[in-house]
Structure 1
Amino acid sequence: MPQKIILNINGKEESVAVEPDSMLLYALRDNLGLRGPKFGCGLAQCGACTVVMDGNAIRSCVTPVSGVGTSKVTTLEGLGSIDNPHPLQKAFIEEQAAQCGYCINGMIMAAKSLLDQKKRPSRDDIKQALDGNLCRCGTHMRIVRAIESYAL
C-alpha cells in the first residue's frame, strides 16, 4: 500500500505516495516528473539513473525510497536549467560530449560528485569516477575533456 514519504529533492521537500520498497528512480520520474535520471538497466550497472545523495553519486534504480530518509538528493534538474545551465553542463555542451545523450545524466552527476570532493582531479581520477557509467556512442574522450575544462 502506498505511503506518503517526504524526500529532499533539489533543495525542496517533496511528498510522494509510493510503496516504501519502490526505487527512488521511479519516485523521481513517475511521481515528481524529473526526467534527468534515466532507466537503463535496473541493476546499477550502467549509470544512467545516477543522482547525487549527500554528496555521493548513487544509482537510483536500486535505492529504495525508504532508504533515503533525510538525505539530500540532487538530480540533473537540480544543477541547472535549459535557460541557466550549471557550468559543468555548459562544459558538456561546449565539448559536444553527448551523442545520443542517454548516458549524459549519469556522467554529469558522477562528475559533479567527484568535483565536489576534489576540485582539481587528474585524468585518472575522472576516468575512475566514470568507470561504472556506460556510453555506447563512444564520446568518452569528449566527456573527459568537458570535465577537465570545467575543473580548470
Structure 2
Amino acid sequence: MTVVVGALIDDALPRVIRRVALPAVVSNLLMTLFTTLDAYWVGTRIGPEGLAAVSTAMFWVWLVVALAEGLALGLTALAARRHGEGNPREAARVAGGSLIFALALGVVVGIAGAAGVDLLFAFMQTPPEVTALARDYLRMYLVGLPFI
C-alpha cells in the first residue's frame, strides 16, 4: 500500500476530507476569480454591453464545465475502482482512455458550440448588440475547450 493510500485510510476523517476537497474548492474559487476579473475588465473597457455579453456567455461556459466535471468524476471513479480491485494496468488503461475521450469530446463540443453559438444566444433571446459581443467571446472560449 502506498503512503498516499495509507494516509487516506488511516488519517482522521476531517483531515482526509480537507485533503480531498481542497483541490476542488481551490478550482472553484479560481474559476470564480477568473469570471469576476473577466467581467470587471470587460465591463470597464467595453461597457455594459460587454459585461452583458460575458455574463450571457458564461452561462454556457458554466454548463459545459459542470457537465465535464460530472464526466470526469465518473471516469475517475471507474479508474479508482479498477485500482482498488488490484488491477493497476486496467486502471491506467481507463485513465488513458478517459484522457483521449475527454480531448475528443472537447474538440467535438468546441466545434459544434462554435458553429451553433448563434442558436444558443437566440434561445436566450439576447439583444443583437449583446449577441455580437457574446458570440465572439464564447467562440474564443470554445476554441480552447479541448485544452481545459
Normalising by structure 1, we get a TM-score of 0.30
Bigger share in helix: 2
Alignment TM-score, normalising by the size of structure 2: 0.31
Larger fraction in strand: 1
Bigger radius of gyration among the two? 2
